[in-house]
Each structure stands twice: as C-alpha cells, then as structure tokens.
Amino acid sequence: MSARENREVRLTARPRGIPQAEHFSVVTEPVAAPGDGEILIQNRYLSVDPAQRGWANDEGNYSAPVPLDTPMRSLAVGEILESNVAGYRAGEHVYGWFGWQRYCVTTPEAVLRRVTPSRLPLSANLSVLGMNGITAYLAFHGLGDPKPGEHVLVSTAAGSVGSFVGQLATIAGCRAVGLTSSGEKAALAKARYGYREMINYRDVADLGAAIRAACPDGNDIFFDNTGGMIADAAIRTMRLRGRVIQCGTAANASWTPTPTGPRPEREILTRRLRWSGFIIFDHLAEFETAAAQLAELALAGKIVHDEEILPGLDHAPGAIARLYRGENHGKLIIAVD
Amino acid sequence: MSARENREVRLTARPRGIPQAEHFSVVTEPVAAPGDGEILIQNRYLSVDPAQRGWANDEGNYSAPVPLDTPMRSLAVGEILESNVAGYRAGEHVYGWFGWQRYCVTTPEAVLRRVTPSRLPLSANLSVLGMNGITAYLAFHGLGDPKPGEHVLVSTAAGSVGSFVGQLATIAGCRAVGLTSSGEKAALAKARYGYREMINYRDVADLGAAIRAACPDGNDIFFDNTGGMIADAAIRTMRLRGRVIQCGTAANASWTPTPTGPRPEREILTRRLRWSGFIIFDHLAEFETAAAQLAELALAGKIVHDEEILPGLDHAPGAIARLYRGENHGKLIIAVD
C-alpha cells in the first residue's frame, strides 16, 4: 500500500463545445499500490491539447469520450516510482496516456515511448518530441509532400503544432506564411518559427484579401488546424494540385449540429486539390523515428520549441478553454506540483 | 474554296447556371477551305458533357469560357475530308475539340487521338474510349486506389462516367453501390453497370439512411460526380482512410454565389479521408494507354457502354439542360446530320 495522495483532475460534467473549468473537479484520493503487471508513475508534466475538447465531448469522434468522474485523458511525461513489470525500472522516465493527475497506476500499454535522457528539458517530450512535434513532422511530410520553392500556409501558426510546421517548411526549402490570433503571436512566429509573413486574422477586414496579399502566388500546401472561415478563405488561394492537410478543426466550438459554410467541392475539383485528414494515433509505428529526427534538429539548434508551463494541477480545469481563447504562447503544459 | 455549308451551334447568350436551348443559335455558314497546316473534318458525332455548363458560364473555372457567337466547345469524332498537314490523311477518323458543328477547320492541336478502326462503333470514341470511359478509368484507379473487397459508392451511377465506374469497381473486386435519379435508371445500372445495389435519391425520404441501408459497412471509395446533398450524406458513411474522388459537381446549378452546406472538415479529420479533385485534361499523357485498355475490356465483353444518340444538330441547344435534368440513359451524343 502506498501512502501517497493522488490529486486527480476529473471530468465531472459533459461539455457541449469547449470544456470550461466548471466541467472539471480536482479530487484528492489515496494512491493504490501497483498490482501485477502494473507500474506507478509520478507525472511531472501534463499536456493540454485541442483534441481534448473532442475527448471530453460526447460527439461522434475518433476516440471514445472520457467517462465522467475519471481523470481527464491526457498525455504526460513522468517518472516510474514502482514497477511490477519486467523491463520497466523505477527512476526511468516515460511518455504516455497517464491523465491529468499527480500519480498514475497503469500498464505498459499506456506508455507511448520511453524518454531517453538528453540535454533537452523533460517537458520537451510533450512539445517538440511529443505529439505536437511529431504531428507537424509526419503530417507535413507525409501528406504535404513539400518540394523546395513551394508555398505553405499554416493556420494557428504560433500554436503547439503550427510553430513546428513553419520551421519544418523552411527547412524543406518552402516559403511559409502563417495565420494567428494576435499581433504579439504574429511577431513571435516571424521571429522564431520560420514564417516569412504572418496574418493576424482578428485584425483584418477581408481574410481572403489578406491571404492573397501575403501569398501573392497562392499556396501549394495549406496546413490547417482550424477549419471554419480560415479554411474557407485558404482553400480559395490554393494553386493547382495543392494539398490541404486537415490536422484539427479548432475554429468551430461545437459540431452538434453541424455548422455550415461555403461548399468546397467545386474548389477541390477545379483546383485538383488533395484534402487529407491526419490523426497522429494512426502513426504510432513512425513515432520513434520522427522523435529521433526532431531531437536531432532541436539539439542542433535548427528547430526551436516554445512552451508555456502553468505551475500546478489547479490550472488544468481552465487550460483547454485558455487554449481555445488563443492565449497560450507555444505548447501549453501543466507542471505537476 | 469548299462549297460545303457548315451548320454551327453557337453560344449566343451567357447563361448563369445550366445552359438552356435559348442560349444557343443554329447558324448556317459556308465552310472555309483549310489553309496551310490545317485540316477539314466532317463531324460524325458530338459529345454532350456536364462540363459544358462550366465552359458556357463565365465563372472562375478550370478552362476559359466559350466566347459568345462561336460554336459551343465540345469533343467530337469525325472524318478528315481534306488535309494540308503531313501525317493526316483524308478518310482517317479523329477525336478531339471540333465543337458543336457539322464541319471543323482546325489544326492538329485540336486532335486528341486518332481513331483506330475496330469492331466498336464510331460513337464509342465519345463514350467508353472517350473522356467518359477514360475519366472513370484514370480517376477510379489513380485516386481511388481500390483494393479487392472494398466498398465503393458512386453518384450519377447510370451516367456517362458512373456507368463505367460501377463496372471497373466490380472488375477490381469491389462492391459497388450507386445513386441515380430514377427507378428506371437504377434498374439499368443494376442490370448492366455492375452495381450491387442502387438508390434512387429522388425516391427516399432520408438520403443518409438510404445510403447506410445499401452500404451497411460504410464506404472506402466515394466517386462523386454531383457534390451537394448527395456528397454531404455520402462522406458521412466513409470508413477510416476512405477516398473521395471529386469528378464533377453537377448537383449545384450555379456556383455564384457559392452555395453553402454542412462543413466537411471534421469528417475529413476524424475519418482520415483523402478527398481529391480529378480533371481529365491533366492526364492527356495517360490517355492512349487507358483507351487501349478500355477497348480491350469492351471488345472482350467485360465492359458495356450505353449511348443515347440524338438525331441531328438541332437537338444540341437543349442537350446540356436535358443532361442536367437526368433524362439521358448513358452517354448523351448528338449524331451530326
């Protein structure tokens, strides 16, 4: 029996749309000792991701909704304290599905990757070496098929994925332009994330005209994390045989009922677009390779990663709403106290 | 100077949406003799295609609009009567951009393919060996990536392209289900075009439910010639990593202003779809090979082609509207009188 006290951030009410602080409760409970085949992990950093909106909701989705009164589903990086599994040792760090809580008793199925000690900070395993960096890497290269000299447009360009896409596009010899929600983030993305031009979409009267001005030759790749009106305008700037990568749909707070917008099928046809959806969980087999390549780029100083770390579990309940308000700078992470 | 009289079906008014008979005039004119580098063709059969709507309109499109007071742009098959070009002989048949008219004086650039004499009728060069068969072949195989056992849904399944897609899907070992606009065409498509099930979308109260009933396991490929509400329902039946081929957008009579519909981006994301536009004119280099393979299938009786041949040029002005009313059975062709 462990005498440790767990603190869990439980989903206690089912949101419609964006989860707010009131949909969660922070609960203190004793930690059960790990049984046979289980490990006890002390979480150090918890991830805050746009996808958590979908996991908290009960809409048709790509993963089952989080059950009520259980810790919010999340990625985390932590240290193994006790192990009843051969091959996992106390003191090792791991990255995986450990939830919004201080301690996690789980099986190795929840572990996505062992964390190799490196000069990169432990939290980097939730950003550049985590789902965000790996998503940017695999989606951009796998679905974008970038060629040197091509033009790339990215929505939420200063966000946890977009901040890597701009850098990867530039490394690939492309010209990257980004969209973001504030002048401050636009400046950051130009200074740090490889973007040639940035558009603050909250500050323009005509989004289509702003994109055409920043991308006078159109776009070969649109890396989209938002959908909605930004996507409507962006796909109308695509060049022939352009690729649209749908990596998120953050622009619409709710998909019940389905929101409407201008029909895209004529654009897809006349521009011969290829519009593909990307979900990182289809790509677990490519995970280790992508993380190794990103670590190499990060250690060589070729790719930077910005993290906004909220101090303490009490920040978790409001963190998803904060993300959707666009207030974070780079990857939003919770440090476990 | 040739003493021949040409009859031209000219576009004389700019339509918005579907061109009607009143947008055309049939004009009689003397035929000019072919100059240096020109050939004189006597058209035998003229093609009627959904794409002609776009060519007649002045909307943003994938080809320039047909100038007013000139013969309507169309594919045709005809016989060379006089040639001032080395390598083209009187008596040969050719397929190409000869327009809605009895005679055409043009250069070899307008010729897409020489017509090899075969046991197939001359009109087959506008259907199974023409743009329609070749579009079905290249779009289905090139963008659909069909695998045996996969499930394929096709809109306008009894139409000039869809009638081949059902057969090609069946030849590829897939299960094909089609949508069409009448019970009669549904029966035809089941009897002749390889479709396991057919849905008459004008006869169902709930299109989504009808598709789910006919495709209980969902769809891996949606070959779409319509867009609109049919596409809205169809993409919501796609299986993970399904492929949507946008080959036409016949459901909407006008794209000015852009019609609205339920947003697709969440479906693209959560189902990991790949939605691609196909336009045959990108694929001229693959044309000859595809035609040869289709000819082989047709001569072996593995693929059937149905044509509705309207007798005489006077039928041309109303023919596009007839197509959009869904009244034709198979490929709509005008025999030149």
Q: Is residue B292 part of a domain?
A: no
Shared domain for B155 and B242, answered yes or no, is yes
DSSP, collapsed to helix, strand or coil, labels residue A246 as strand
pLDDT (mean) for B233-245: 98
Nearest to B266 among A249, A271, A274 (CB): A249
Tell me the one-letter amino acid at A75.
L
Q: Is residue B226 part of a domain?
A: yes
A-contacting residues in B 199-228 (Cβ below 8 Å): 224, 227-228
Shared domain for A201 and A92, answered yes or no, is no
Shared domain for A203 and A244, answered yes or no, is yes
Residue A327 has pLDDT above 90, yes or no: no
Q: How many domains does chain B have?
A: 2
Residue with token string 């649209």? A244
Nearest CA in chain B to A283: B272
Q: How far apart are CA A97 and CA B7, in angstroms?
A: 73
Q: How far apart are CA A243 and CA A174, in angstroms?
A: 14
Residue A75 has pLDDT above 80, yes or no: yes
Q: How far apart are CA A330 and CA A32, in angstroms?
A: 35
Share of chain A above pLDDT 70, in %: 98
The long-range contacts involving A61-70, CB below 8 angstroms and separated by at least 24 positions, are: A61/B270, A62/A279, A62/A281, A62/B269, A62/B270, A63/A281, A65/A14, A66/A11, A67/A11, A68/A11, A68/A12, A68/A13, A68/A14, A69/A10, A69/A11, A69/A12, A70/A10, A70/A11, A70/A99
Q: Which of B235, B265, B274 is most worth mutating to test chain A (most A CB atoms within 10 A of its CB)? A: B265
Of the candidates B308, B324, B314, the one whose C-alpha atom is nearest the C-alpha of residue B47 is B308
Among B281, B297, B326, residue at a domain's last position: B281
CATH code where residue B313 lies: 3.90.180.10
Q: Which of A161, A265, A278 is most worth mutating to test chain B (most B CB atoms within 10 A of its CB)? A: A265
From chain A, the residues in CB contact with B263 under 8 A are 227-228, 252, 258-261
CB contact under 8 A, B266 and A278: no
For residues A285 and A100, which has the higher predicted lDDT (pLDDT)? A100
- State residue B66 phi and psi, 5-degree precision: -65, 130
CB contact under 8 A, B261 and A263: yes
Shared domain for A270 and A146, answered yes or no, is yes
Among B237, B264, B281, residue at a domain's last position: B281
Nearest to A272 among B241, B255, B282 (CB): B282
pLDDT of residue B61: 61
pLDDT confidence of A1, banded at 50, 70, 90? very low
Nearest to A268 among B60, B241, B277 (CB): B277
Give, in order, the Cα–Cα distances in Å from A228 to each of A154, B17, B26, B232. 14, 27, 47, 16
For strand A307-311 and strand A274-277, is the pairing parallel, antiparallel, or unpaired? unpaired
Please give the radius of gyration of chain A, using alpha carbons only, rounded to the nearest integer: 20
Q: Which of B236, B240, B263, B280 is most worth mutating to test chain A (most A CB atoms within 10 A of its CB)? A: B263
pLDDT of residue B326: 80
From chain B, the residues in CB contact with A62 under 8 A are 269-270
pLDDT of residue A233: 98
pLDDT of residue B1: 46
Residue B34 has pLDDT above 70, yes or no: yes
Q: How far apart are CA B319 and CA B32, in angstroms?
A: 27
CB contact under 8 A, A224 and B273: no
Nearest CA in chain B to A254: B266
From chain A, the residues in CB contact with B247 under 8 A are 269
Kindly provide the ipTM of the predicted complex, given to two decimals.
Answer: 0.85
**Residue B68 CB contacts under 8 Å (≥ 6 apart), including other chains:** B11, B12, B13, B14
CA B23 vs. chain centroid, Å, equals 21
pLDDT of residue B157: 95
pLDDT of residue A328: 79
Q: 10 Å Cβ neighbour count for A206? A: 10
Q: Is residue A96 part of a domain?
A: yes
pLDDT confidence of B64, banded at 50, 70, 90? confident
Give, in order, the Cα–Cα distances in Å from A333 to each of A47, A329, B247. 5, 11, 44
Is the CB of B263 inside 8 Å of chain A's CB atoms? yes
From chain A, the residues in CB contact with B144 under 8 A are none
Give, in order, the Cα–Cα distances in Å from A3 to each of A6, A102, B47, B105, B139. 10, 14, 82, 94, 64
Q: Is residue B184 part of a domain?
A: yes
CB contact under 8 A, B279 and A270: yes
Shared domain for B41 and B103, answered yes or no, is yes
What average pLDDT does the structure give for chain B?
Answer: 94
Nearest to B270 among A61, A224, A276 (CB): A61
pLDDT (mean) for B74-100: 97
Of the candidates A149, A187, A184, A146, the one whose C-alpha atom is nearest the C-alpha of residue A165 is A146
**Residue A53 CB contacts under 8 Å (≥ 6 apart), including other chains:** A15, A17, A18, A19, A250, A320, A324
Alpha carbons within 13 A on the beta-carbon side of B175: 12
DSSP A193: S
pLDDT (mean) for A246-258: 87
pLDDT of residue B60: 58
Q: Which of A225, A260, A263, A280 is most worth mutating to test chain B (most B CB atoms within 10 A of its CB)? A: A263
Residue A152 has pLDDT above 50, yes or no: yes
Is the CB of B235 inside 8 Å of chain A's CB atoms? no
From chain A, the residues in CB contact with B258 under 8 A are 262-263, 266
Is the CB of B282 inside 8 Å of chain A's CB atoms? yes
Tell me the one-letter amino acid at A157.
A
CB contact under 8 A, A260 and B263: yes
Burial (Cβ within 10 Å: 0-12, 13-18, ≥19) of residue B252: middle
Pair of tokens at residue B74? 């169309």
Asked if B48 and B161 count as a contact pair (C-beta separation under 8 A), the reply is no
Shared domain for A77 and A50, answered yes or no, is yes
Q: Is residue A288 part of a domain?
A: no
pLDDT of residue A188: 94
CB contact under 8 A, A272 and B277: yes
pLDDT in tens, B102-124: 999 999 999 998 898 888 999 99
Residue A251 has pLDDT above 90, yes or no: no
Shared domain for B144 and B268, answered yes or no, is yes
Q: Is residue A144 part of a domain?
A: yes
pLDDT of residue A62: 63
pLDDT of residue A60: 58
Shared domain for A99 and A226, answered yes or no, is no
Pair of tokens at residue A179? 């969209």
From chain B, the residues in CB contact with A61 under 8 A are 270
pLDDT of residue A243: 98
Nearest CA in chain A to B227: A265
pLDDT of residue B303: 96
**Residue B224 CB contacts under 8 Å (≥ 6 apart), including other chains:** A265, B155, B230, B231, B234, B244, B245, B246, B247, B248
pLDDT in tens, A192-218: 999 999 999 999 999 999 999 999 999
Shared domain for A252 and A231, answered yes or no, is yes
Residue B131 β-bridge partners = none
Q: How far apart are CA B304 and CA B298, in angstroms?
A: 6
For strand A111-114 and strand A93-96, is the pairing parallel, antiparallel, or unpaired? antiparallel
Q: Is residue A289 part of a domain?
A: no
pLDDT of residue A86: 95
Helix, strand, coil percent content, chain A, rounded in steps of 5: 30, 25, 40
Q: How far apart are CA A194 and CA A144, in angstroms?
A: 17
Domain boundaries, position A212: 131-281
Asked if A312 and A337 count as a contact pair (C-beta separation under 8 A), the reply is yes
DSSP, collapsed to helix, strand or coil, labels residue A28 as strand
What average pLDDT does the structure give for chain A?
Answer: 94
B-contacting residues in A 43-102 (Cβ below 8 Å): 60-62
Residue with token string 């290249």? B138
Runs of H (alpha helix) within B13-146: 51-56, 131-144
Q: Is residue A71 part of a domain?
A: yes
**Residue A216 CB contacts under 8 Å (≥ 6 apart), including other chains:** none
Shared domain for A98 and A23, answered yes or no, is yes
Shortest distance between the Cα of B312 and any Cα of chain A, in A, equals 32
Shortest distance between the Cα of A274 and any Cα of chain B, in A, equals 4
Pair of tokens at residue B31? 């035929």
pLDDT (mean) for B4-10: 96
CATH code where residue B194 lies: 3.40.50.720
Q: Which of B38-42, B164-168, B329-333 has the lowest mean pLDDT?
A: B329-333
pLDDT (mean) for A269-293: 94
Please give the radius of gyration of chain B, using alpha carbons only, rounded to the nearest integer: 20
From chain B, the residues in CB contact with A282 under 8 A are 241, 272
Shared domain for A39 and A147, answered yes or no, is no
CB contact under 8 A, B258 and A263: yes
Q: How far apart are CA A64 and CA B325, in angstroms?
A: 44
From chain A, the residues in CB contact with B278 under 8 A are 269, 272
Residue A136 has pLDDT above 90, yes or no: yes
Shared domain for A149 and A55, answered yes or no, is no
